[in-house]
């Protein structure tokens, strides 16, 4: 099983490299296809022939090569290449009595190319040419119904496979665009969380600084230290994210620092506490190790919730609680601030913060509910995430 899996991975790797090469060097691919077709069409000239058959001449072989040569330009002018192949093939049939071919290789390749790459009007013109040219070619050769049926079948199959190739490429492009849109949304959430959190704390500290300078100089110094630490942390996170975005553009591998996780929550709470908000942090239930993606999501949810408290709630205290249950992690952030605004607007503001929390929870199959806090006071963010709870290393050792 392992050997077969390794072989499949190897084949997929070669296929991916071949697709990248084809996208980067289309002319080299077209030349290679032309050489391959030329090799196939050379076979009847080198295989010994029966004495009663006409000899294979250099003139016939030269016309065969002339039929293959237009395939080099099959992507740039597919319909012109088809007309050139029809002309040279007709000349071969009428002017020389050379070896025949078991399959019309050049015609099949260009018909597939037109079906896969050409605009609709060229595809329609190709169908008309096939319907006309194939019976004429059969009449010039054997004139049998068997050959006519076979020729129409193989050309029809080449056209159908070309259309299927086009459909698959379109599906891949749509999938790539959707993946890019999801990645842009993820990066936007990360940037929002990093900048919103850092700027909010820095603004709060900067506003408190002048008051502290007059009333308690030591507090002013602590406020400026907090601004500096918050700014450095934000710059480090942004540098990490931009390093990932620059992956491969400068020839250097991107940084591989870990994503924020539950281990960073105490430091996050401490930074918010330095802004003057009294924040408590506790966990209940059996603490377990979580998947990396879930840990990063929990960190960002708590960060955004606390940022909203600092920016909008006017609160004096806030509480962060993580409750571990069987298969579910509940994240609750509450404050004693102004609570929901009139008209259903939350104290969390009208920006993307709460939307981002819901999106992050939904990405893991969880839910996020926001509204008044306990007893109708303040504001509460409650998130439930279904997670496969894995015993921590310490518990596994016992």
Ordered DSSP codes for 282-347? EEES---B--HHHHHHHHHHHHHHHHHIIIII--SEEEEEEEEETTEEEEEEEESS--SPGGG--T
Cβ–Cβ < 8 Å for 151, 108: no
Q: Report d(CA 101, CA 8) in Å as an integer.
A: 35
Task: Tell the residue number behind the tokens 């099959």, with chain if given.
Answer: 74
Side-chain-side CA neighbours of residue 371 (13 Å)? 5
Q: Are 376 and 339 in contact (CB under 8 A)?
A: yes
Report the candidate in 70, 86, 77, 69 with the shortest Cα–Cα distance to residue 130: 86
- Average pLDDT over the chain, rounded to whole? 78
Q: What per-residue confidence (pLDDT) applies to 247?
A: 57
pLDDT tens readout for residues 354-382? 887 888 888 888 899 988 888 788 899 99
Q: CA-CA distance, 295 to 327, in Å (whole number)?
A: 14
- Asked if pLDDT for residue 338 goes beyond 60, the answer is yes
- Whole-prediction pTM: 0.53
323 pLDDT above the threshold of 60: yes
CATH classification code of 277-398: 3.30.565.10
Q: What are the residue ranges of CATH 3.30.565.10 in the chain?
A: 277-398
Percent of the chain at pLDDT exceeding 90: 19
> With the C-alpha atoms ordered 215, 218, 222, 225, is the resulting torsion angle positive or negative?
positive
Is pLDDT above 50 for 256?
Answer: no
| pLDDT at 159 > cutoff 90 | yes
pLDDT at 244: 59
List b or e across 148-160, with b for residues whose CB sees 16 or more CB atoms inside 10 angstroms.
Answer: beebeebbeebbe
Sign of CA dihedral 71, 74, 77, 79: positive
Nearest CA to 213 out of 199, 224, 229 is that of: 224
Q: d(Cα 12, Cα 10) in Å, to the nearest integer?
A: 5
Is it the case that residue 183 has pLDDT exceeding 50?
A: yes
Q: Is 371 helix (H, G, I), strand (E, B) or coil?
A: strand
Q: What pLDDT, on a 0 to 100 scale, did the predictor assign at position 177? A: 85
Instruction: Please state, in angstroms and as integers, the Cα–Cα distance from residue 163 to each residue in 106, 204, 271, following that order.
Output: 18, 61, 59
Tens of pLDDT along 125-152?
A: 999 988 888 888 888 777 788 888 988 8
């Amino acid at each position: 099983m392992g050997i077969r899996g390794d072989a499949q991975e190897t084949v997929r790797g070669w296929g991916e490299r071949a697709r990248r090469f084809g996208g980067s060097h289309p002319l080299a691919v077209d030349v290679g296809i032309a050489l391959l077709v030329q090799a196939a069409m050379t076979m009847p000239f080198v295989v010994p022939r029966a004495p009663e058959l006409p000899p294979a001449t250099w003139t016939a072989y030269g016309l065969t090569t002339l039929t293959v040569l237009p395939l080099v330009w099959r992507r740039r002018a597919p319909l012109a290449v088809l007309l050139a192949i029809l002309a040279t093939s007709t000349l071969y049939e009428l002017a020389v009595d050379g070896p025949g071919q078991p399959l019309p290789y050049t015609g099949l390749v260009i018909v597939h190319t037109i079906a896969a790459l050409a605009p609709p009007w060229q595809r329609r013109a190709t169908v008309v040419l096939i319907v006309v040219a194939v019976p004429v070619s059969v009449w010039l050769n054997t004139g049998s119904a068997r050959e006519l049926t076979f020729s129409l079948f193989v050309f029809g199959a080449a056209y159908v496979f070309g259309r299927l190739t086009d459909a698959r490429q379109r599906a891949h492009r749509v999938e790539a665009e959707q993946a890019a849109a999801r990645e842009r949304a993820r990066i936007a959430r990360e940037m929002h969380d990093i900048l919103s959190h850092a700027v909010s704390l820095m603004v709060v500290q900067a506003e408190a600084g002048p008051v502290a300078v007059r009333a308690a100089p030591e507090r002013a110094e602590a406020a400026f230290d907090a601004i500096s630490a918050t700014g450095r942390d934000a710059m480090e996170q942004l540098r990490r994210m931009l390093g990932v975005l620059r992956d491969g553009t400068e020839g250097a591998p991107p940084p591989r620092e870990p994503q924020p996780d539950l281990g960073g929550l105490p430091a996050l709470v401490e930074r918010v506490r330095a802004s003057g908000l009294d924040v408590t942090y506790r966990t209940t239930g059996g603490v377990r190790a979580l998947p990396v993606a879930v840990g990063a999501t929990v960190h960002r949810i708590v960060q955004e919730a606390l940022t909203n408290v600092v920016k909008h709630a006017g609160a004096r205290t806030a509480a962060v609680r993580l409750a571990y249950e069987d298969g579910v992690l509940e994240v609750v952030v509450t404050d004693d601030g102004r609570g929901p605004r009139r008209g259903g607007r939350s104290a969390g503001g009208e920006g993307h913060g709460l939307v981002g929390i819901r999106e992050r929870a939904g990405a893991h199959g969880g839910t996020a509910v926001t509204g008044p806090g306990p007893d109708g006071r303040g504001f509460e963010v409650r998130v439930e995430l279904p997670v496969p709870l894995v015993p921590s290393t310490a518990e596994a050792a016992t």
